[in-house]
Amino acid sequence: MLILTQEEVKQIIPLSQIGKVVERIESAFSKYGKGEVDMPPKTYLYFKKDNGDLRVMPSFSEELKMAGTKIVNVHPDNPKSNLPTVGAVIVLNDAKTGAPLALMDGTYITGMRTGAAGAVAAKYLGKKDAKSMGVVGAGRQALFQIAATASVIQIKDVLVCDPNEKNIDTLSAELGKIGITIRKAGIEEVSKQDILATTTPSRSPIVKSEWIVPGTHINAVGADAQGKEELDPAILKKAKIVIDDWAQASHSGEINVPLANGVITKDDVYGSLGEVVAGIKKGRENDQEITVFDSTGLAIQDLFTAAMVYEEALKRGVGKNIEIF
Active site residues: 70
From the number of C-beta atoms within 10 Å of its C-beta (0-12, 13-18, 19+), residue 98 rates as: exposed
Per-residue H/E/C for the chain: CEEECHHHHHHHCCHHHHHHHHHHHHHHHHHHHCCCEECCCCEEEEEHHHCEEEEEEEEEECCCCEEEEEEEEECCCHHHHCCCCEEEEEEEEECCCCCEEEEEECHHHHHHHHHHHHHHHHHHHCCCCCCEEEEECCCHHHHHHHHHHHHHCCCCEEEEECCCHHHHHHHHHHHHCCCCCCEECCHHHHHCCCEEEECCCCEEEEECHHHCCCCCEEEECCCCCCCCEEECHHHHHCCEEEECCHHHHHHHCCCHHHHHCCCCCHHHEEEEHHHHHCCCCCCCCCCCCCEEEECCCCHHHHHHHHHHHHHHHHHHCCCEECCCC
Sign of CA dihedral 272, 276, 277, 280: positive
